[in-house]
Amino acid sequence: MNMDDIKKGTQCIWSGEEASLMQRATQVPVVHSVSFGYKDIDEWQQVALGEKPGHIYGRNTNPTVAVFEEKLRQLEGAQAVTSASTGMGIISSTLFAFLSPGDRVVSVKDTYGGTNVIFQEFMPRFKIDAALCDTTDHEAIEREIKNGCKLLYLESPTNPTVKIIDIARLAKAGHDAGAIVVVDNTFATPINQNPIELGADLVLHSATKFLGGHADALGGVICGKKELIQQIYHFREINGATLHPMAAYLLLRGMKTLELRIERQNKSAMKIARFLESHPGIEQVFYPGLESNQGHSIARTQMKGFGSMLSFMLKDNTFDAVRRFVPRLKFAHAAANLGAVETIVGPPATTSHVECTKEERAAMGIPESLVRYSTGIENVEDLIADLDQALKSVKG
């Protein structure tokens, strides 16, 4: 059976593993070897030149890392794949692999905080023009693409207000202008969204979040067109942000339950969003699964599930209300992370938008009392009861 054709739940378990299994082991080994030895000099040369499969040196490739990459490649239905030590490692490797002085990149204002810093701080230093558009203004994005675009960088859903971008529409606009189309698919996961099917050339993930799912390993991964992946691999191999084999093992172990976790988290987040929407202590809920949400109709066509990320604005729209509310939650880590089996909360002022002033956050449509909620796999009734009791602290 062709492994690319099996269903995702089966890919999570079986994809990519067989070639690495040693001495009848049923589990992928963590190969800690920095280099790989060849007595046959001709074979060594063929592997080094990429004419024959195999490994040479751990900064370039590693058997454990290769299994992790292959599993993700199959889940996203891509031609090729490579990885990096963190999500930002793969994002920076991708941007710097393709962009040169004088080039122009088009993206949106609501990209992940670190990505936004690359656009605003580092790109200008390399004389690369980054046009950042209002995230849901598709006409404005299309206009900027027509003004010149080497690389179109999208993210959907976004952080922290979970906005939805029409990937198929913008991928077409990007290709019409000759751009490389990249999508950060971290929030959706390959279970809920597959941007390659929607026309993207490259799809990346911070594996630190949902792929690993247990908040115990950092990693980044990108897949897509072979000739593009080769260039990103080359940049990362030389610049050195390599994924560690132990981290790859932890990520792989987490990915076994990816579909199970995401199916449950999708359902729980929907119930929580509906509960919060009808709660008197809540002013607004941001979740693409709600019919009232601005991105709902696009999300319905391009996503298979609405995900576990939501955010909400308290009726008492002050940071003081957040100070009272967040510590009262029993079943949520207050931490700068997301996508784990545990529920995690945090205000943008301490997580995604820590570098902005209060006024800048307001200008970006991020209210002071916004709380980002990454739904875990706990029992949803307990999560709802927990939110209910904590909200009692903010009514007044």
Ligand X SMILES: *Cc1c(COP(=O)(O)O)cnc(C)c1O
Q: Which of 110, 129, 166, 184 is catalytic?
A: 184
Helix/strand/coil (H/E/C) assignment for every residue in 128-152: CEEEEECCCCHHHHHHHHHCCCCEE
CB of 280 to ligand X, least distance (A): 31
75 or 217: whose CB is closer to ligand X?
217
The answer to whether residues 220 and 209 touch, using CB atoms and an 8 Å cutoff, is no
Distance CA 61, CA 233 (A): 10
Q: Which of 59, 109, 143, 315 is catalytic?
A: 59
Instruction: Tell me how crowded residue 115 is: count the other CB atoms within 10 A of its CB.
Output: 21
Distance, CA of 245 to CA of 30 (rounded, Å): 6
Whether 209 is catalytic is: yes
CB 324 within 8 A of CB 336: no
Q: Of 158 and 369, which has the nearer Cβ to ligand X?
A: 158
Which residues ranging from 210 to 229 are in contact with ligand X (CB under 6 A)? Answer: 218, 220
**Is there a contact between 258 and 213 (Cβ–Cβ < 8 Å)?**
yes
How many residues touch ligand X under the rule CB under 6 A: the total is 15
Known catalytic residue at 372? no
In the bound complex, what is the minimum distance in angstroms from residue 163's beta carbon to ligand X? 12
Q: Which is nearer to ligand X, 282 or 298 (CB)?
A: 298
Nearer to ligand X, 232 or 390 (CB): 232
Size of the chain in residues:
396
Residue 200 CB: number of other CB atoms within 10 A? 27
134 is annotated as an active-site residue: no
Return the closest-CA partner of residue 223 out of 13, 7, 15: 15
Task: Compose the 60-89 pattern: x for residues touching ligand X by CB under 6 A, - for all others.
Answer: --------------------------xxx-
Structure tokens at 13: 């378990």
Beta carbons of 95 and 231 less than 8 angstroms apart: no
Query: Does 388 qualify as catalytic in the annotation?
Result: no
Instruction: Compose the 127-166 pattern: x for residues touching ligand X by CB under 6 A, - for all others.
Output: ----------------------------x---x-------
Tell which positions 165-204 bind ligand X, by CB under 6 A: 184, 186-187
Binding ligand X by CB under 6 A: which of 96, 112, 306, 312?
A: 112
What token pair was written down for 11?
């890919």
Q: List Cβ neighbours of 301 (8 Å cut-off, separation of 6 or more).
A: none
Q: Which of 15, 193, 208, 343 binds ligand X (CB under 6 A)?
A: 208
Q: Which alpha helices (DSSP H) does 326-379 contain, by range?
A: 358-363
CB of 220 to ligand X, least distance (A): 6
Tokens 């339950």 -> residue: 257
CB of 358 to ligand X, least distance (A): 23
145 neighbors 174 (Cβ within 8 angstroms): yes
Instruction: Find the shortest distance in angstroms from Cβ 159 to ligand X.
Output: 6
Report the residue number, 155 or 316, with the smaller CB distance to ligand X. Answer: 155
CB-nearer residue toward ligand X: 54 or 114: 114
Residues carrying an active site annotation:
59, 112, 184, 209
Which residues contact ligand X by CB under 6 A? 86-88, 112, 114, 155, 159, 184, 186-187, 206, 208-209, 218, 220
